[in-house]
Amino acid sequence: MFFLSGMLMAFPGAILPVWGYHLSYDFVEVGRYFLAVILGVLAAVKIGGFVVSRRGTRFAIVLGCGVAGVAFVWLGIAAPPISWMWRFAGTLLVGIAAGLLNAAAFQSISKVYERDPAATVNLAGVSFGLGCLAVVLIVWLAYYVYTPASMLFLLSLIPLFAAVVFARSSFAPPVPHVTKGLRDIWLEVRSPGAVLFSLLLFFQFGNEWSVAGWLPVLLVHRVGVSPATGLGMLAFYWLALLLGRIVTQALLVRVSHGWILFGSTLSAVLGAIILATTNNQFGAWMAILFLGGGFATIYPLVVEKIGNRLPDYHPGFFNGLLSFGITGGLLAPWCLGYLANLWGIRTVMLVPVLGTLMVFLLVVLLWIESKLVTSSR
């Protein structure tokens, strides 16, 4: 499930060169595809909660896979030179499918998450990262072999096959869904820890998905690589994230989680600065390595701290202040389309530089806040 969700969420960044947007300067249109995906994810929050509670986890997963298959077929038919509005509708379906799969997937791991939040989220992240890597590799390998339509028809076979497999599988009963009211959200706002965690997720998700969405287009414009090479470097980014999460899993029981979080943030800051300033492939490769390795560990470790400090947090319940932070961060790739249109493609990387510095600052503030709370007890 997380594998398929990763494929869907990483799809817009991988497909842009195939649709010819590496040659375009209409960055606003590029940003609209990221907006469509996020709108689809948000729409799926309500749909997913209803489907899981009424029809069960298996039905939600099969439905999500089916919608994903239809979305890829739709986008295959709507490839350029057809109007971008048809592709907007297709990417909206991609977001709905990803949201349904996310809701069902987090429900299915609820019991395991309660026992070990950091390890559970890290393993889920590995599966998600494999999906992100897989879709980029498929597009990269097929770039000079298949037409855009043929490539998307091929991709549609993966979720449709998964729908058949999951339809024959069994899942644990869903955890009862709890919707927070305004009073509960106000209590979260009054908690400095919850506000800081939400802001950290806001900037961290914005950083990760800004790079994942815009990297090939940025590299073609700034470094002068070919579209296929840009896709290969995007695959390397997801590989760095994936290997970073695997290494983190081994380090969790041996190294202080605070030191891992601090070192990861420093690595991400360095990578973002290098990628914003480099004009050659060697610098870009090194920046991607630092970025992927740095981003890999931040989210699972933050989620662990959320579980320790905010026991009511649950990854399957997409509501409240923390969920606002996640959603806001994922809107960053859309906003970058407008900024790039105004001030040039380089803005795509300058914004994550500032966002990564904010993550670094928030990690320090969280550490200070944690010390103050501990000393006051």
- For the chain, the structural domain boundaries read 2-172+180-375
SS3 271: helix
Highest averaged pLDDT of the listed ranges 120-129, 250-259, 290-299: 290-299
Banded model confidence at residue 167, pLDDT cuts 50, 70, 90: confident
Q: What pLDDT, on the 0 to 100 scale, is given for residue 259?
A: 75
What is the pLDDT at residue 157? 94
Q: At residue 84, does pLDDT exceed 70?
A: yes
pLDDT of residue 129: 85
Interatomic CA distance for residues 254 and 341, integer angstroms: 46
Contact 159, 97 (CB under 8 A): yes
**pLDDT score at 19:** 92
| Token pair for 274 | 């290098």
Which pLDDT belongs to residue 326? 62
In this prediction, residue 375 carries a pLDDT of 66
pLDDT for residue 306: 59
Integer angstrom CA distances of residue 364 from 190, 203, 270, 307: 20, 14, 17, 19
Whether domain 2-172+180-375 has CATH 1.20.1250.20: the reply is yes
Given a contact cutoff of 8 angstroms between Cβ atoms, the answer to whether 171 and 236 are in contact is no
pLDDT band at 229 (very low <50, low <70, confident <90, very high): very high
Q: Does the structure show a pLDDT above 70 at 189?
A: no
Q: Write the DSSP symbol of residue 169.
A: -
Between 234 and 267, the higher pLDDT residue: 234
DSSP collapsed to 3 states, 276-335: HHCCCHHHHHHHHHHHHHHHHHHHHHHHHHHHHHCCCCCCCCCCCHHHHHHHHHHCHHHH
Mean pLDDT of 341-356: 82
Dihedral sign from CA coordinates of 10, 13, 264, 206: negative
pTM: predicted TM-score of the whole model, two decimal places: 0.86
pLDDT of 319 higher than 50: no
Determine what percent of the chain is predicted with pLDDT higher than 70. 78
- Total Cβ atoms within 10 A of residue 328: 18
In terms of residues, how long is the chain? 377
Side-chain half-sphere of 191: how many Cα atoms within 13 Å?
20
The helix (run of H) or strand (run of E) holding residue 124 is helix 117-142
State how far the Cα of 299 lies from the Cα of 135, in Å rounded to an integer. Answer: 22
The pLDDT of residue 115 is 67
CA–CA distance, 246 with 140 (Å, rounded to integer): 24
List, in order, residues 6 or more apart from 113 with CB less than 8 Å away: 106, 120, 121, 314, 315
- The 10s digit of each residue's pLDDT in 16-66 is 999 988 888 889 999 999 999 989 988 887 787 777 777 777 888 899 999
Q: Which residue has the higher pLDDT, 162 or 251?
A: 162
